[in-house]
Amino acid sequence: MATTKVTFTLDQISLQRLQDAADQLSVAKSEIVREAIMEFHDRLGRLSERERAAMLRTFDEMLPRIAPRSTAAVDRELAQVRRARKAGGRRTPSGLK
């Protein structure tokens, strides 16, 4: 595979982690960067572990706020909404009376 030399600016922590990984695996830093880019690219469009945890926290916070209703009550409300839509919805624009 042909390679191209590029320049990146890294903070000290990232640079130290890169060096540690290269030392532990006995490979060039450029190999670590290539592998990291491939893995990052493969994860595009998927939630990170941090994002997934945040969404689960939000779900856990919101779930108790959902009013408990029977299936029959939900079905009645949906039927009302459907009837209103079939009847043309509101006769006056919202806010005007």
Residue 20 maps to a domain: yes
- What integer best gives the mean pLDDT of the chain? 89
pLDDT at 3: 86
Low-confidence ranges of the chain (pLDDT < 70): 90-97
Total count of domains within the chain: 1
pLDDT at 1: 72
Of 34, 10, 11, residue with least CA distance to 22: 34
Q: Per the domain annotation, does 40 fall within a domain?
A: yes
Q: Is residue 45 part of a domain?
A: yes
**By C-alpha distance, which of 32, 37, 39 is closest to 15?**
32
The model carries a pTM of: 0.51
Q: Is residue 30 part of a domain?
A: yes
Residue 23 included in any domain: yes
